Chain A
Amino acid sequence: MQREMIERAKALLADGTVNRVIGWKAGEFDYDITPAVFTTAEELDAGFLYNDLCAANLSKYLIKESRKEGKILAFLKPCDTYSFSQLLKEHRIWRDHVYVIGVPCEGKVDVDTVKSKGITGICSMRCDGETVRVETLYGEESIKKDEAMADRCLNCKSKKHVVYDELMGEEGDVLDSHRFDMVEKLENMTPDERFAFWRGELSRCIRCNACRNVCPACTCEKCVFDNDASGIAQKAAVDSFEENMFHIIRAFHVAGRCTDCGECSRVCPQNIPLHLLNRKFIKDIDELYGEYQAGADPDTKPPLNTFTQEDAEPSVIYERGGNK
């Protein structure tokens, strides 16, 4: 697939369809891949990469990139196309400045997951069918791919591309993901247990803002937490309660717009399962306003921006909340 992608990118550069290509660039090890813009065939040959380790969602970069002169070729995985489509819906990306090629994704191997299984000193990694072969400072190891995959990929919601100009490889389907299983578990806890769970998780936050900055739904020109005039700007929290509030406010702000791409949890240096907050909102929206997948199509009206007489009344809080 990587070879075909490079050839196709070169052809589109050569015939003038695009003047840049956004993709993934090889690093020092196999797993430390960086999003990058390529402008020549030589650059593509030297560093362009696409494999089971290319995890970054490139959609958010297209907000800036699409405002530049000329068209950019973007290779998007299925889940990235949901983010891209949602950003189009919010008029954040200039569609006619992007040429989208949908590329298949078999689920991404995550180096932190591999390390959590006790394999350390990883100098190289490659997927060999359903096995991941790892060379470490301490010898060779192997691990099954589904044990090495990122959590978000184990609960993949869709292998279908929702927007593209061209597809490479085989198109997939929307999947039965079981992605709300953990949310249900949390819902079934008592309020005290749930509070303890989230305090435990969120108290590790170091307010690095990686979750916010990587999030394709967080596209404010100036975040309320960076804006002195907002009165709530803060670089650090007074206590861990404020850390909680930062994440809860952010989850509210992206509610109905979060496509569940899982980048927030992927980048969190403290392994906080932030995606669970967003999934709770998605599940609630599904239950209260009818099934809705942000980014799935350009036309469906977002339930939180649309009034209908069937909408949930505020009393729903009393009906659903409290001790169960």
Chain B
Amino acid sequence: MLKLPIAKLDEFFAAIAAKETLYLPVDNEGGQAQYKEWKEGVSLSRALNTVRSAKDFFFPQTENLMEFKTQGKAIEVIDSRKESEDFVIFGVRACDARSFTILDKVFLVDPVDTYYKTRREHGTIISLACTRPEETCFCPLFGIDATEPEGDMRGWMTEDALYLEPVTEKGTALAQALGDLLEDADAAPVEEQKENTKKILEKLPFSKLDMEEFNGDNLLKLFDSPKWAGLSEACLGCGTCTFVCPTCQCYDIRDFNTGHGIQRFRCWDSCMYSDFTRMAHGNPRLTQLERFRQRFMHKLVYFPSNNDGEYGCVGCGRCLSKCPISMNIVKVIKTLGEDK
């Protein structure tokens, strides 16, 4: 276990930022946290989590894929990627840290998404244990330990110190590069913090939901449930849940005429949107019911049946606090789960 006195936090950030670009949660004008680049004078947010998840670093909302230039009948295809720089993300919570392994199962399987892969390779994650979970948190439901987050290095912030533990080679290399700044320390304060947080985690209202119903064997039964109509009734068809979600990974690819050629880009898409799945013949998902059902079937049934039972949700609670009509995955699990 390594330790950094809290008074040296800025020195620690500066030391990392001197080597690589460092991002961390910072309070914004809206009174909420978002990841921003660390610069002198920027301070770490005290908020439990950021509104936008950390998936942005590996799967940004918009991204240029390639360019086309035509001259006569010849088309030139230009790979517009620049070599990604090394970067460090500090303060990733356990839920978001787990979301990366879920995204990996989508983007790093054959055919590998090289845009995503490059960013993953260049990124180092310093995660931070939670001490004050919200009522909307339910990561324990998915076997996530908020007191022991995954990442290249994991951290625990107490009143007077930041404790760090390198986990991967990348994390160890970063710790070594920081040299004297970090000192060896006794893990007792960390253990004490973990115990205290666990008492709160025990009290979380949704951490023990019954998930028995949600598996591939029940696919058609769940798909055909008459309850989707009521659940989706008030849905506005906005993309808030999908855009704040750390595991939503659908995107659209479009071409933009720059006047000098074509810029092909991709951007986040939302299955809640009315033109998602629209094809030449029309749209198979005609109403919000089908769109709404898709989002939850994907996370609770399709994804786990293709990925050894792992759900496409990490229980971060963002959709619980951000849905304009307060409809969310917990209400879906509770409503459909009682049909055993």
Binding site for B on A (CB under 8 A): 27-29, 31-37, 56, 61, 112, 116, 120-123, 136-138, 200-201, 204, 206-210, 212-214, 226, 235-238, 266-267, 269-272
Q: Which residues on the A side are within 8 Å of B230 (C-beta)?
A: 36
B303 surroundings in chain A (CB, below 8 A): none
CB<8 Å pairs between A and B, sample of 6: A120-B132, A206-B244, A208-B238, A237-B62, A267-B236, A270-B32
> Would A122 and B30 be within 8 Å (CB), given that A32-B320, A214-B236 are in contact?
no
Q: Are A213 and B236 in contact, with the CB atoms below 8 A?
A: yes
Mark B181-208 against chain A: 1 for CB-CB distance below 8 A, else 0.
0000000000000000000100111100
- Measured in the bound complex, the distance between the Cα atoms of B205 and A123 in whole Å is 8
Contact of A137 with B200 at beta-carbon distance under 8 Å, contacts A121-B133, A204-B28, A214-B324 already known: yes
Q: Report the Cα distance A272→B244, complex, angstroms.
A: 15
Q: Shortest distance in angstroms between A31's beta carbon and chain B's nearest beta carbon?
A: 8
Judge whether B243 and A206 touch: CB under 8 Å: yes
Number of A-B contacts defined by CB within 8 Å: 121
In the assembled complex, the Cα of A112 lies from the Cα of B80 at a distance in Å of 41
Asked if B274 CB lies within 8 Å of chain A CBs, one says yes
Say if the beta carbon of B145 comes within 8 Å of chain A. no
Q: List chain B residues, Cβ under 8 A from A122.
A: 135
Which secondary structure characterizes the binding site on chain A? loop
- B204–A137 touching, CB < 8 Å: yes
What is the interface size of chain B, counting residues whose CB is below 8 A from a CB of the partner? 52
Assess the B256–A35 pair: CB atoms within 8 A.
Answer: no
Contact A210–B238 (Cβ < 8 Å): yes
How far is A28 from B244 in the complex, measured between Cα atoms in Å? 21
- Bound-state CA distance A238–B257 (Å) is 12
Q: What distance in Å separates the Cβ of A116 from its nearest Cβ neighbour in chain B?
A: 5
Partner of A206, one of B29, B52, B328: B52
Chain B 2-40 per-residue mask, 1 if CB under 8 angstroms from chain A, else 0: 000000000000000000000000001111101000000
Contacting pair B205 A226 (CB below 8 A): no
Cβ–Cβ contact A204 & B29, under 8 A: yes
Contacts of B236 in A (CB 8 A): 210, 213-214, 267
Does B233 interact with chain A (Cβ within 8 Å)?
yes
Tell me the nearest residue of chain B to A235, going by C-beta.
Answer: B267
Contact B135–A137 (Cβ < 8 Å): yes
Q: Is B148 an interface residue (CB 8 A)?
A: no
Considering the chains assembled together, what is the distance between the CA atoms of A272 and B51 in angstroms?
13
CB distance from A182 to the nearest CB of B (A): 14
Are A204 and B34 neighbours in the complex by a CB distance under 8 Å? yes
Smallest CB–CB gap between B28 and chain A, Å?
6
Closest Cβ of chain B: how far from A296's Cβ, in Å?
Answer: 26
- Is the pair A270, B61 in contact by a Cβ cutoff of 8 Å? no
User: Chain B contacts of A207 at CB under 8 A?
Assistant: 61, 239, 243
Point out the residues of chain A lying under 8 angstroms from B294, CB to CB.
none
Interface string of B307-335 (1 = CB under 8 A from A): 00000000000001110111110110010
The distance from the CB of B242 to the nearest CB of chain A, in whole angstroms, is 8
Is A236 a contact partner of B326 (Cβ separation < 8 A)?
A: no
For B252, list chain A residues within 8 Å (CB). 235
- Give the CA-CA distance A121 to B244 in the complex, in Å: 19
- Residues in B whose Cβ lies below 8 Å from that of A206: 52, 61, 239, 243-244
Within 8 A of A (CB), among B134-163: 134-135
- Inter-chain contact B133/A137, CB cutoff 8 Å: yes
Instruction: Output the least CB separation between A213 and chain B (Å).
Output: 4
Structural contact, B275 and A226, CB atoms closer than 8 A: yes
Which of the listed residues B48, B62, B236, B328 has the most CB atoms from chain A within 10 Å of its own CB?
B236
* Inter-subunit contact A213/B238 (CB<8 Å): yes
Assess whether A27 is in contact with B62, with CB atoms less than 8 Å apart.
no
Flag whether B1 is at the interface (Cβ < 8 A): no
User: Do A236 and B62 have beta carbons less than 8 Å apart?
Assistant: yes
Which A residues touch B57, using CB under 8 A?
none
Question: Is the CB–CB distance between A136 and B324 below 8 Å?
Answer: no
Bound: A279/B180 CA distance, A: 56
Q: Which residue of A36, A121, A200, A208 contacts B134 across the interface (Cβ within 8 Å)? A: A121
Please tell me which one of the listed residues B274, B275, B325, B330 contacts residue A56 in the complex, with CB atoms under 8 A apart.
Answer: B325
Chain A residues, CB < 8 A from B254: 235
Q: Is the CB of A270 within 8 A of B30?
A: yes
Assess whether B228 is interfacial by the CB under 8 Å rule. no
B68 contacts chain A at the CB level, 8 A cutoff: no
Establish whether residues B200 and A28, one from each chain, have CB atoms under 8 Å apart when the complex forms: no
